[in-house]
A = this chain, B = another copy of it.
Amino acid sequence: MTSAPSSPSPRPGRPRSAEADRAILDATRAALVELGWSKLTMGDVAARAGVAKTTLYRRWAGKNALVVDAVADLFDEHLELPDLGSLQADIEGVVLRFAELLDRPETKTALMAVVAESTRDEALRERIRSAIVERQKGLVLLGRSRAQARGELPAEESAGAAARTADLIFDVIAGAVVHRTLVSAEPVDGEWARGFTALLIGGLSGAGAASPSA
C-alpha cells in the first residue's frame, strides 16, 4: 500500500506511525462523507486506511475521539480571521466561513454527534473544547480587540466583564450559525449574514447593553 521507505532503520519500529495517522484521519473524513456518523464503523475506517483495527485502537480510544480529531483538522485549516477593515465585515466573514465549514457533509454529520456524546463523557467534552471550541473563541477575542483598536467598540470595564462578554458573543455567533444550518436547515447566505451581523452590532454598540451591572 505504501512505498517501502529506503531508510535503513536497523530496528523495526514505527516508520508507519505518521503516515498511518494521516491515512486514518483521511479515511475517517471520507467515511463521514459517504456514510455519516451513525453508519461509520471502525472496521470500515481501518479497511479504507489499509490498516488493522488494532492500530486504530492503539491510537484512539474509540469512534468519538477519532472523529473529533478528524474534524478538528478541518477547523485548523479553515478557521482564520483576515482583517477585512471593519467590525461588520469581520463578523460577516467569519459567519460565512463558519457556515461553509458546517455545510460540509463531514462536519455537518459529525459535529452534533460528538457534542451529543460529550454530554455523557467528560474527557470527550474536554477534547472538543481544546480541539475546536477554544480556537473558535480565539477569533472572537481577536475580532473584538481589532474593533476596539479601530474605535468601533469601547474598551471593557474589567477583565471579568470582558471574558463574560466574549463568551456571550461566541455563543451567540456560533449558536446562531449552527442552529440555522442544522436545526432550521436553512442556508446561511450573504443576506442572512448581513441581517445577523446588523443585529449583533446593534446589540453590542447599544447603550452599554453588553455589560450588565449585576
Residues on A lying within 8 angstroms of B by beta carbon are 36-39, 105, 108-113, 115-120, 125, 128-129, 133, 164-165, 167-168, 170-172, 174-180, 182-186, 190-192, 194-196, 198-212, 214
Query: What are the residues of chain B within 8 A of A115 when measuring CB–CB?
Result: 112, 116, 182-183
A177: nearest chain-B partner, CB-CB: B175
Q: Which of A36, A168, A176, A203 has the most CB of B within 10 A?
A: A203
Query: What are the residues of chain B within 8 A of A105 when measuring CB–CB?
Result: 119
Copies of the chain in the assembly: 4
- B185 A180 Cβ-Cβ under 8 A: no
Q: Quick one: which of B112, B172, B204 contacts A196, CB cutoff 8 A?
A: B172
Q: How far is the CB of A34 from chain B (nearest CB, A)?
A: 11
Complex CA–CA separation, A180 to B171 (angstroms): 6
Complex CA–CA separation, A168 to B193 (angstroms): 10
Query: What are the residues of chain B within 8 A of A204 when measuring CB–CB?
Result: 199, 202
- Other than A110-B116, A115-B182, give 12 A-B pairs with Cβ distance below 8 A: A113-B113, A113-B116, A167-B186, A174-B183, A175-B180, A178-B178, A191-B214, A195-B211, A198-B206, A199-B203, A200-B203, A203-B206
Q: How far is the CB of A39 from chain B (nearest CB, A)?
A: 8
Complex CA–CA separation, A214 to B193 (angstroms): 11
Query: What are the residues of chain B within 8 A of A111 when measuring CB–CB?
Result: 116
A136: nearest chain-B partner, CB-CB: B183
Interface pairs (19), CB distance under 8 Å: A110-B116, A119-B182, A168-B195, A172-B176, A172-B199, A174-B183, A175-B175, A175-B183, A178-B178, A191-B212, A191-B214, A198-B209, A198-B210, A198-B212, A200-B203, A202-B202, A202-B207, A202-B209, A206-B206
Complex CA–CA separation, A208 to B112 (angstroms): 34
Query: What are the residues of chain B within 8 A of A164 when measuring CB–CB?
Result: 195
Q: Which of A119, A168, A176, A201 has the most CB of B within 10 A?
A: A119
A120: nearest chain-B partner, CB-CB: B36
Query: What are the residues of chain B within 8 A of A198 when measuring CB–CB?
Result: 203, 206, 208-210, 212
